Amino acid sequence: MLKIVVVGNGMVGHHYVEQLAAADVEAHITVIGGEDRPAYDRVHLSEFFSGRTPEDLALTTQEHYRELGVEAHFGDAVASIDRDKKTVSTVNGKQFAYDKLVLATGSYPFVPPVKGNDHESCLVYRTIDDLDNIQAQAQGSKVGVVVGGGLLGLECANAVKNLGLETHVVEFAPGLMGVQLDAGGSAMLRRKIEALDVKVHTSKATQVIEANADGDSRLIMRFADGSSLTTDMIVFSAGIRPFDQLARDCNLKVGERGGIEVDQQCKTSDNNIFAIGECALFDGRIFGLVAPGYRMAEVAASQLGHDSTTFQGADMSTKLKLLGVDVGSIGDAHGSEAGAVAYTFSDERIDVYKRLIVSADGKNLLGAVLVGDCSDYDTLLQYFLNGIALPTDPQTLILPYNAGGAPALGAAALPATATICSCHNVSKGDIVTAMDAGYCSLGEVKAETAASTGCGGCAALLKSIVDDELTSRGLEVNKAMCEHFNLTRQEMFHIIKVESIKSFAELIEKHGSGRGCEICKPTAASILASLWNDYVLEEKHVGLQDTNDTFLANMQKNGTYSIVPRIAGGEITPDKLIVLGQVAKKYKLYTKITGGQRIDLFGARVQHLPAIWQELIEAGFETGHAYGKALRTVKSCVGSTWCRYGVQDSVAMALYIENRYKGLRSPHKLKSAVSGCTRECAEAQSKDFGVIATENGWNLFVGGNGGMKPRHADLFATDLDDETLIKYIDRFLMFYVRTADRLQRTSVWMSNLEGGLEYLQQVIIEDSLGIGAELEEQMNNIVDTYQCEWKTTIEDPEKLKRFRQFVNSKAEDRDIIFVEERGQPRPATEEERIKILALSA
């Protein structure tokens, strides 16, 4: 059997073993690691000081290797290679024969040749043992200096800071992270790091390190410019050098400045010896990141199988968090290519710096620098790696969204070859293939492709691709809403309207099959309500409603309900406030103010709902439709009546709007707000439709929302008078109700309309479809037939029968148990519930 010996068990050496084991090559693998422990995650090394244990950082174990059939020796480094006999010998005198030898010896920290660098308080930062030493030295230290202001140096500074020391960074070059950042980015990074109380000293050449004879601190560093710095310990983290001594000793070809020379197959000058990772020199370069190291491991492993691949160099773009600061660097950060054009955006208020380097013709992204905000990194990297043509105004890619910035590159726009996860080299095509094979959830895709299981930097992008694929598949395969109707919501709406269908039974008989389900029934109920506005608890409709609609309240996790009376515009009298308090007290309800300027009463048992509402209605409240896919609230600021800045009466307008559209059933919930001036205190731009007062009237915004994917609303029309404002909102809402899909918020609906905002403006303002009058009439019809569902319900004894916990008993549901927290009731946890029930039994 082929004997393979792997020297070194760092991240790359370990990856090689895993690749080989997975490739099912007939071979005996021996791993020899100089450190006492098997491979661990060096990328996240600094987390050791924020609580991660060596076990957390471990990538494998001795047992795991045993299961793979791999012979592993740790804590015994290889001392020499005999290429003629094809053997390696270890420091402890063991000898291993090989057919193929893989050198994954990695690198060692570069310690500048400064007199005094061998003091016992001078340390390096590379291995878990080094961290143990740093931790030991930090005991009894007050000040720590890190020599090196590059990526590794700042990682190390984070570690020193986490140990609670006054932290200094000393850098020879004029700026931090000079390799990855341009001068502007470097300056912003410095600003941010100094704000974190890390002292930065640049352009400092250390000449000598001396024991400090007379001070509190142990050491004194003297610099070439005559200045000095006292400290208790020094950690060198000023770069790496390839660990190539073994190769030199056996006369393998090495580079002038170190590194074992390899070809595209990762072979050294000896056909039977491979070198991978940071000890290898490819095309005159050392690749000091884990992703290229993994690529080399895969290439080297593939040489022993059938499908050999080649190493072509690697992209060194990187995104990371240094001392909590987001830093991203793509391609040529310095703009060294002839004719390259740079765009720079800098906001010192929030300490964000972004720079784009674009080719002379403006078509390609050559590089980018991001400091303080890496949210554009994924999009920019895709432009860079895939040579995607830039938009006409590339600066929009880094401008804030509200300043005209372009939206992120959609998942659909990426080519199949686009690399999504660079740690595991997963392309968009790989993800699509996995989904074709039936691995469709995000979790399954991750497990199947390994995407996003390395540094995790691509998690957001991966999710958007999976979502996008799911959406497009959903549409391709089947637009049907469920197994009972081969219709979209829009089609169902059309049919119900045109054929004047008045019940679900009629609908399913004519256009569906089976008996319906929890998807099509509430959808049909919502459309029937939007079109005919019948009372939702009529016998023919009651079985169609979600429990929230049936009981006109919101079910909570323990089966009780919450109640939100309408408080239009957030305006409420003291008397009504008192009633809410009294009712909550009487029925032992938990009370909380909602984001929509209302008061939510939680924990009502189903049998108490009518009595609670009886009291609320007597006090003048009506239902708030918080349970329905319907208009919820119209939030308002106090407006010109009170506010020194208000230019219109926003409360009156909010009241009018809320009272006009209350109860309107829609494809999803609808929220609105009215602000009395441009200060926008009511946050109208985060609503489905928002109104902001101007000197001359009202500006209308549409398509905003908060929640998981917040979106700013778009300005739809300006300086409207009251009448026109309402006319446009009537048309907008009714057009949405008619054409949107089930559970589609206005923002998604609008962006899915061909022509988007402009089209919507044509339909509503210019009445391009000639349906304006019809939409208004339909809305008027709904406004005219409004009824408070709770009022209708409590007036009908037949309907109240539904609100019994038990049809045959007055008992209460004994499984609903509350405990007190912060002076209010809350549902007992499952453990508390079981304990309390056991005690009462």
Partner 1 sequence: MITALNTTEPKIIPLCGQSDLIPNSGICAAVGDQQIAIFFLPDETPQVYAIDNWDPVGKANVLARGIVGDVDGRLVVASPLYKQHFDLITGECLEDHQVSVATYSVTLLANQVQLSL
Q: By C-beta, is 186 or 560 nearer to partner 1?
A: 560
CB 499, min distance to partner 1, A:
21
Detail the DSSP E strand segments found in 294-389. Answer: 318-322, 325-331, 341-347, 352-358, 365-371
Q: How would you list the strands of the sheet with 561-563, edge to edge?
A: 554-555, 561-563, 599-604, 590-593
CB 440, min distance to partner 1, A:
16
Q: By C-beta, is 540 or 679 nearer to partner 1?
A: 540
* Residue 810 DSSP class: -
Q: By C-beta, is 66 or 814 nearer to partner 1?
A: 814
Q: By C-beta, is 218 or 489 nearer to partner 1?
A: 489
Tokens describing residue 213: 């004879």
CB 522, min distance to partner 1, A:
7
Q: By C-beta, is 199 or 802 nearer to partner 1?
A: 802
Dist CA 552 CA 788 (whole Å)? 10
Q: Decide if residue 555 touches partner 1 (CB under 8 A).
A: yes
Q: By C-beta, is 476 or 539 nearer to partner 1?
A: 539
Neighbour tally for 47: CB within 10 Å: 16
Q: Decide if residue 806 touches partner 1 (CB under 8 A).
A: yes
CB 658, min distance to partner 1, A:
28
Residues 24-83 that bind partner 1 (CB under 8 A): none
Neighbour tally for 640: CB within 10 Å: 18
Which of 797, 801, 821, 838 forms a contact with partner 1 (CB under 8 A)?
801
Q: Decide if residue 838 touches partner 1 (CB under 8 A).
A: no
Q: By C-beta, is 452 or 550 nearer to partner 1?
A: 550
Site string for partner 1, 600-629 (x = CB under 8 A): ------x-----------------------
Q: Near partner 1 by CB under 8 A, which window of 201-209, 493-501, 608-616, 814-822?
A: 814-822
Dist CA 783 CA 240 (whole Å)? 73
Closest CA to 12 of 103, 138, 147, 118: 103
User: How many residues belong to the site for partner 1 (CB under 8 A)?
Assistant: 39
**Would you state the torsion angle of the CA atoms of residues 393, 396, 398, 403, taken in this order, to the nearest 10 degrees?**
150
**Would you state the torsion angle of the CA atoms of residues 539, 541, 544, 548, taken in this order, to the nearest 10 degrees?**
-90
Q: By C-beta, is 132 or 538 nearer to partner 1?
A: 538
Q: Decide if residue 558 touches partner 1 (CB under 8 A).
A: yes
Q: Near partner 1 by CB under 8 A, which window of 47-55, 143-151, 188-196, 556-564?
A: 556-564
- 498-503's contacts with Cβ under 8 Å and 24+ in sequence apart are 501/528, 502/528, 502/532, 502/534, 503/528, 503/540, 503/541
CB 807, min distance to partner 1, A:
4
Helix (H) or strand (E) holding 82: strand 78-82
CB 837, min distance to partner 1, A:
10
> What's the burial of 715, exposed, middle or buried (CB within 10 Å: 0-12/13-18/19+)?
middle
Which of 811, 821, 831, 840 forms a contact with partner 1 (CB under 8 A)?
811
Dist CA 806 CA 808 (whole Å)? 5
Q: Near partner 1 by CB under 8 A, which window of 206-214, 418-426, 614-622, 796-804?
A: 796-804
Q: Decide if residue 139 touches partner 1 (CB under 8 A).
A: no
Q: How far is CA 313 from CA 181, 244, 316, 329, 757, in A?
A: 21, 20, 9, 17, 45
Q: Decide if residue 835 touches partner 1 (CB under 8 A).
A: no
Closest CA to 527 of 486, 498, 565: 498
CB 424, min distance to partner 1, A:
31
Closest CA to 144 of 217, 91, 88: 217
Site string for partner 1, 512-531 (x = CB under 8 A): --xxxxx-xxx---------
CB 557, min distance to partner 1, A:
7
Dist CA 427 CA 449 (whole Å)? 9
Q: By C-beta, is 1 or 807 nearer to partner 1?
A: 807
Q: Near partner 1 by CB under 8 A, which window of 113-121, 358-366, 402-410, 536-544?
A: 536-544
Dist CA 404 CA 392 (whole Å)? 13
Q: Decide if residue 792 touches partner 1 (CB under 8 A).
A: no
Dist CA 22 CA 20 (whole Å)? 5
Detail the DSSP E strand segments found in 419-508. Answer: 419-421, 426-427
Neighbour tally for 12: CB within 10 Å: 29
Which of 294, 353, 377, 551 forms a contact with partner 1 (CB under 8 A)?
551
CB 515, min distance to partner 1, A:
4
Residues 462-521 that bind partner 1 (CB under 8 A): 483-484, 514-518, 520-521
Site string for partner 1, 308-337 (x = CB under 8 A): ------------------------------
Neighbour tally for 748: CB within 10 Å: 17
Q: Which residues bind partner 1 (CB under 8 A)?
A: 483-484, 514-518, 520-522, 539, 542-548, 550-551, 555, 557-559, 606, 801-802, 804-809, 811, 813-816, 830
